[in-house]
Amino acid sequence: MSSRPSRPPRRTSSFRRRRAVRKTKCTKNISFDYKKPEELRQYLTSHGRIKPQRLNGLCAKHQRQLTREIKRARQLAFLPFVVE
């Protein structure tokens, strides 16, 4: 006999989360620039966080470039760190 109280059984849900559909296709000639914050804002959430790669529709290389340029823009005060 154990001294722990028994736990109620876990619920099993039949709900499956649907993957988001890619909005844009990653092309070879995409370039991001920290001096264009209006273009970078489309890759941020309403709270100012960088959207994940599966929502942006970018390949890994371009997602890294985007992240680097957003962080540069934040350091130079072109973009806010937190959106109120």
- The tens digit of pLDDT for each residue in 24-42 reads 567 778 889 999 999 999 9
Instruction: Give the 3-state secondary structure of residue 44.
Output: strand
Confidence class for position 20, pLDDT limits 50, 70, 90: low
Q: Is residue 2 one of the residues assigned to a domain?
A: no
* Host domain of residue 64: 28-84
Residue positions counted in the chain: 84
pLDDT at position 44, please?
95
Q: Can you say whether residue 42 is alpha, beta or left, with left for phi > 0 and alpha for psi between -120 and 50 degrees?
A: alpha
More confident residue, 9 or 55: 55
Q: Is residue 76 one of the residues assigned to a domain?
A: yes
The structural domain count of the chain equals 1
Q: Is residue 4 one of the residues assigned to a domain?
A: no
Q: Is residue 35 one of the residues assigned to a domain?
A: yes
Confidence class for position 50, pLDDT limits 50, 70, 90: very high
Q: Is residue 60 one of the residues assigned to a domain?
A: yes
Asked whether residue 14 carries a pLDDT value surpassing 90, the answer given is no
Q: Is residue 56 one of the residues assigned to a domain?
A: yes
pLDDT at position 29, please?
84
Q: Is residue 40 one of the residues assigned to a domain?
A: yes
pTM as predicted: 0.69
The domain that holds 84 is classified in CATH as: 4.10.640.10
**Distance from C-alpha of 55 to C-alpha of 19, rounded to nearest angstrom:** 9
Q: Is residue 69 one of the residues assigned to a domain?
A: yes
